[in-house]
Structure 1
Amino acid sequence: MKALVLAVQFMTRLPLPAIAASERDFARAIRWFPAAGILVGLCVAAAAWAGLRHDPWTGALAALLVWVAITGALHLDGLGDIADAAGAAHGDRERLSAVLADPHIGSFGVTAIGLQLIAKLVLLRLAMDTVPLAALVAVPIAARIGPMLWTLTLPPLHRGMGTSFGAGANWPVCAVWFLVLGASAWWTTPALLQAPAAITVWGIWLRQCIGGISGDGHGAGIELVETTTLAALVLFA
């Protein structure tokens, strides 16, 4: 149970009491990241539903604001860092590592975050007309399966929070969450089955261009898988 609480504390800004936890608890928390995604998805869908009482654009904006607020823009920060590193490194791994370690954000990062928010807003608006709100709940779940797969298939770039969580990832739990995703797709829309492809493509890109996985890679991947899955819902639902 501690691992679940830690996962929710790390992946959301929901008010939860502090708990004493061991390294083993932290490691096992990654297995519950998709469960934290359920809470994120429920809040996003509820905000969309409330906004829809006025009009679809209000529903989309409410959903986006809640999405950013409940996650504390944690994953957007990773997206900005990866964009800065990839844009400034020009294939130089040492330069890439230096940019990733820099806490400041540059023009590449600002642009990536801005485009990500615009893309999510527009896709959420289109989703208001094309998909059941239950499908929106599944989008954050699908994206948070990614960290387990990336941890299992990619070398760590450095020691940090990502490696502490990643030590608890395993294939059986990953498979169970993919089955949950499959059940969600059967219940709502098969377009959700695009998510594993997006997760795989991001892992390939990280291996080829970054060289491994880090907390920033996890965060950026979650954001991009969410947007790609939203696009699939709009285009193929």
Structure 2
Amino acid sequence: MKRLVVAFGFLTRLPIPRVAADMTDFAAAIRWYPMVGLTIGGLVALAGWAGTLADPWVGALAALAAWVAVTGALHLDGLSDLADGCGAAHGDRTRLLAVMADPHVGSFGVVAIVVQLLAKLVLLHGVANWWPVILVPFAARIGPLVWARWVPPLREGLGSAVAGAVRLRDVVGWALVLAVAAAVVPPLAVALVLVAGWWWWLKARIGGVSGDCHGAGIELVETGLLLALVVGGF
């Protein structure tokens, strides 16, 4: 239970009680990321449904605002850093990592954030029902378990500790839950392709994974799943 609280404290801005935790607890908290995603999805869907009572675009904006607020834009920051690194690197991996480590936001990062927010806003407006949206953040947060286990960490520290904390049964267990969810909402099956695609890209382009890579992957998988819901009529 303590590690679930740690996961909520790390991934959200919800008022969570403080608990004493060490590096092992922070690393093992990754096993609970999909559960945190369900809570995030519930709040996003609730905000969207409430906003839609006034207007569909208000609903989409309310859902997006709730999404950013509850996560504290944590994953958008990772997407921004990765975009800056890829945009400035020109194939130089050393420069890519150096730019990703820079706390300043560059033009590529700003563009990535704007495009990502616009994409989510439009897609949230396009969903036919709000309840399947609950499952989008859940499915996307299965990704870090896969990437942490099968992509080497870029740096020592929490990243390498997380890699050792993900057990095969954690991945299999959440994958089975996803399979059940996909039986009800078939477009969620696209998560398997999106997670695997990001794994391949990290291996081929970056050669490892970091917190920024996890955050960027979560954002992109979420957008891909929203698109799948819209195309699938959900």
TM-score, length basis structure 1: 0.95
Select 2:211's aligned residue among 209, 215, 220: 215
Shift in Å, 1:206:
1.1
Q: Which residue of 1 aligns with 2:187?
A: 191
Answer yes or no: is the 8 Å Cα contact 2:153–2:163 preserved in 1. no
For structure 2, list consecutive stretches of 5 or more residues without a partner in the other structure.
none
Q: CA deviation at 1:89?
A: 0.3
- Give 1:234's aligned residue: 230
The aligned residue for residue 29 of structure 1 is 29
1:65 paired residue number: 65
Partner residue in 2 for 1:136: 133
Q: Indicate which of 150, 172, 175 corresponds to 2:172.
A: 175
Runs of 4+ in 1 over 4 A off after TM superposition: none
Distance 1:26 1:212 in 2: 20
Paired residues in the alignment total 233
Could you report, residue by residue, the CA deviation over 1:82-120 in whole angstroms, capped at 9, with x for unpaired residues? Answer: 000011101101111110111101010000000000000
The SS at the match of 1:54 is coil
**TM-score, normalising length: structure 2:** 0.97
Q: Distance between the aligned counterparts of 2:139 and 2:20, measured in 1?
A: 29
Identity %: 55
Asked if 1 retains the 8 angstrom alpha-carbon contact of 2:47 and 2:66, the reply is yes
Question: Is the CA contact (8 Å cut-off) linking 1:163 and 1:214 kept in structure 2?
Answer: no
CA distance in structure 1 between the aligned counterparts of 2:50 and 2:132, rounded to whole angstroms: 16
Measured after TM superposition, the shift of residue 52 of structure 1 is 1.1
Q: Secondary structure at the match of 1:35?
A: helix
Letter in 1 for 2:230: V
- Please name the residue that 1:41 is paired with: 41
Q: Is the 8 A contact 1:27 1:168 kept in 2?
A: yes
Consecutive unaligned residues in structure 1, runs of 5 or more: none
Distance 2:183 2:172 in 1: 17
Does residue 1:149 correspond to 2:143, yes or no?
no
Matches within 5 A, 1:3-152: 3-127=3-127, 130=128, 132-152=129-149
